[in-house]
Amino acid sequence: MGPVFTVRPARPDDREPVLAFCRDIWGPGSGDYLEETWEPWLRSDTGRLVVADAGDQPIGVCFVRLVSGWEAYLQGMRVHPDHRRRGVATELARYCLDYAVGQGRHVVRLATAEENLAARRAAEGLGFRWVVTFGVWRAPAESFGAPATFATAQDIPAIFRLFRRSDAPRLFAPGWIWKTLTWDMVEEAVRAGQVLVRPEGFALLHWRPERLWLTWLEGTEGACGGLARSVRSIALKEGHEEAFALLPTDPPIEACLLDAGFTRIHTYLIYEHRLTGEPARDSTGGNRSGGFL
Ligand SMILES: CC(C)(COP(=O)(O)OP(=O)(O)OC[C@H]1O[C@@H](n2cnc3c(N)ncnc32)[C@H](O)[C@@H]1OP(=O)(O)O)[C@@H](O)C(=O)NCCC(=O)NCCS
């Protein structure tokens, strides 16, 4: 028997029934970030919020975001607990993949917690392949001497030299949205005051109202250690109790974060689906994970 539901773009009246089954999605009273993202996702002109509709109610939801000219990212996949293992997630994802193709994107990614076997199997069944693992790290905010400085336009040539030492693509996740880090983004981040620099190293920061995130780290071992400690200092200065990092699980990076007082609290697997087999530039096979030169 085929699916007894259809997948369609979400409507404003889907909000309550969708949020009702999302509220306990991670366990009783867990809450869900979809409460905050529903409205922006529904109104988004760089993505599509879709639901699986069982006729009388939505039973699944997913958002596909266009993150660059060639990449898309799947977020917020949720299926009502009473309707699982009936292909709902699979059909939602297929709709999103078709949407991404229709929008000219070549690669779609998703991230899932290492322990989320249901999501991992569903992704693998759809033809997604694992490309890189990221760790979520945290450290108490603390003051250290000689912090790194925020990069200015004068630092751009030195940062460019560090960036250019490898052509391998880099995935990073500002705001938990995985995409390829390009040189243009680094330059823009310098202008926005989001890049820390030390001799032979640089780091990208991402500010959320409640948290400061380290989202990229590149350079020599000594430089990366200093940069990671600086993030803890900046977090303290800005009144946070902790600093956070979301970085690839590359052994030198991990050693550096451990040395700088960070502890890994979660692990996420990043999966990728190639839609057309092109182009080569966004391949993440052997993804460069920042770190040491
Ligand atoms: C993960 C989730 C979206 C899967 O939704 P679903 O509609 O049940 O998935 P599908 O029916 O399309 O399953 C496709 C395949 O995934 C695998 N799968 C799904 N759930 C599984 C589970 N609980 N255990 C093992 N494999 C599972 C199976 O291989 C399944 O195929 P099969 O049923 O023919 O064996 C759903 O369990 C859910 O909403 N979980 C909570 C939220 C969540 O984890 N979201 C993903 C965040 S990345």
pLDDT in single tens digits along all 293 residues of the chain: 567 999 999 999 999 999 999 999 999 999 999 999 999 999 999 999 999 999 999 999 999 999 999 999 999 999 999 999 999 999 999 999 999 999 999 999 999 999 999 999 999 999 999 999 999 999 999 998 766 899 999 999 999 999 999 888 899 999 999 999 999 999 999 999 999 999 999 999 999 989 999 999 999 999 999 999 999 999 999 999 999 999 999 999 999 999 999 999 999 999 999 987 554 444 444 444 443 44
Task: Please tell me the total number of residues recorded for the chain in this structure.
Answer: 293
Q: Give the pLDDT score at 2.
A: 60
Instruction: Name the closest-CA residue to atom 24, ligand 1.
Output: 118
- Cα 221 to ligand 1 centroid, rounded to whole Å: 40
* 74, 91, 121, best to mutate for ligand 1 pocket (most atoms within 8 Å of CB): 121
In DSSP notation, 219-277 reads E-HHHHHHHHHHHHHHHHHTT-SEEEEEEE--HHHHHHHHHTT-EEEEEEEEEEEESSS
- Cα 14 to ligand 1 centroid, rounded to whole Å: 21
Asked if 247 and 204 count as a contact pair (C-beta separation under 8 A), the reply is no
Query: Relative to the CA of 112, which ligand 1 atom is closest?
Result: 48
Asked if 223 and 198 count as a contact pair (C-beta separation under 8 A), the reply is yes
Query: Relative to the CA of 92, which ligand 1 atom is closest?
Result: 12
Determine the topology of domain 136-282 in CATH: Aminopeptidase (3.40.630)
The model carries a pTM of 0.93
Determine the topology of domain 6-105 in CATH: Aminopeptidase (3.40.630)
Q: Give the pLDDT score at 100.
A: 97
Count the neighbouring beta carbons within 10 Å of the beta carbon of residue 222: 14
Give the whole-angstrom CA distance, residue 209 versus residue 130. Answer: 31
Q: Give the pLDDT score at 276.
A: 76
State the span(s) of the chain assigned CATH 3.40.630.30. 6-105, 136-282
Handedness of CA 181, 182, 185, 186 (dihedral sign): positive
Query: Relative to the CA of 90, which ligand 1 atom is closest?
Result: 12
Instruction: Name the closest-CA residue to atom 1, ligand 1.
Output: 119
